[in-house]
Amino acid sequence: MKHSRLKAFVLLALAAFSPKPVLPEAAEVELNIRFYDKKVYFIAGAEEAPRASAEPRIRAPVDPIYVQATIYNRSPASFHFKLAEDRIFSVDFDVRNLANQSLAPADYLLRKRSESRNVFYRDIAIEPGESFSFIEDIRNYADLSQPGSFVVQARIFPNLLRAAGEIPIESNRLTLNLRPPLLPGPDGIPFEMDLETNAVLVREKLPPDEVVRYMLDARIKSQWEKFFLYMDVPAMLGRDAARGRSYLNESAEGRRRMEARYRENLRSAVVDGDIATIPTDYRIENTSYGSDTGTVVVTEWFRDGRITERRRYTYFLGLVDDFWLIQDYISSILGTE
């Protein structure tokens, strides 16, 4: 008994003189959100009236509303938190209208959070002065089925959403403007909007070199809606033989889905990343075209740290419904400067 009391005294003495871990204050950990790909956002379109044929109804495709969340650790100690693989168990988005009324949760959110399941997570450590970012689609969190202006705020729960008494870290607020759905064009794809003028983008009958110039200027300014305006997406899909065969075997709705997925993958540089890379400058070297095909050769410069890389791009265009559209390209490295 005496030995046990002596051992306990020693342990308490060591604990008293041992340095305690320094945990960051809540005010020193900051959560910041911004739109990952700022553009004009629309609500989901209504379904078309049923046809006499057996084809399914078509719903206008809706782009995700990606928000990038960044956690900054401005404290002198490491900040540890748990990030669920399915982030709806770590993150929440409060979306309110201008009357300060919270929007109803999205069906996806209700379904996922009502499931009886294990929540898998990663332990994340952010060192002093460092940050950690991830991207979420807020359509998965709130019912964004009505047009209007809304205020978006994110909350992250360091020990998961279901932890008792968990106090979240709150972010700054963003203003989200949702517009009514666009009417689909003749090919079933909704018309694009010009972010600068809020007008519907309409193709003009430009020569091949001006089409390429338009596309490159749009990419330099990160104007994706203009970048795709003179691109023959079905032809670009066909650059990969297997993907092209799959496209041809799809129904009309399946093709629309593939085109929408290709646009999204190109934005994310999952496919054809070299055409989506932003040049710092370019020069059109040569243009040639006949009755329905054309070629434009361009030298483009790309900045990579202290090095500037020079590449040659050859764009192949075709005449589609009296409009010159980019259908294919090849590129080669010319050297560095």
Domains of the chain: 26-45+60-179 (2.60.40.2360), 208-336 (3.10.450.50)
Q: Give the dihedral of Cα atoms 138, 139, 144, 149; nearest 10 deg.
A: 30
Q: What is the pLDDT of residue 163?
A: 62
User: Residue 80: which residues within 8 A CB-CB, separation 6 or more?
Assistant: 123, 124, 125, 126, 158
Q: Report d(CA 146, CA 148) in Å as an integer.
A: 7
Q: What is the overall mean pLDDT for the chain?
A: 80
pTM score over 0.95? no
pLDDT, tens digit, 9 for 90 and up, residues 62-95: 678 899 999 999 989 999 999 998 899 999 999 9
pLDDT tier at 149, thresholds 50, 70, 90: very high
β-pair type (41-42, 169-179): parallel
Q: Report d(CA 299, CA 334) in Å as an integer.
A: 9
Q: Report d(CA 233, CA 261) in Å as an integer.
A: 11
* pLDDT higher than 80, residue 51: no
Q: Could you give the percent of the chain with pLDDT greater than 70?
A: 78
Amino acid of residue 60: A
**Tokens linked to 76:** 């002198």
Q: Taking a C-beta distance cutoff of 8 angstroms, is the pair 119, 87 a contact?
A: no
Question: For 169, phi and psi rounded to 5 degrees?
Answer: -95, 125
Closest alpha carbon to 287 in 206, 205, 204: 206
Q: Taking a C-beta distance cutoff of 8 angstroms, is the pair 260, 192 a contact?
A: no
User: Residue 141: which residues within 8 A CB-CB, separation 6 or more?
Assistant: 88, 92, 93, 95, 105, 106, 109
Distance separating the N- and C-terminal Cα atoms of the chain: 80
Q: What is the pLDDT of residue 188?
A: 46
pLDDT tier at 23, thresholds 50, 70, 90: very low
Closest alpha carbon to 295 in 328, 331, 320: 328
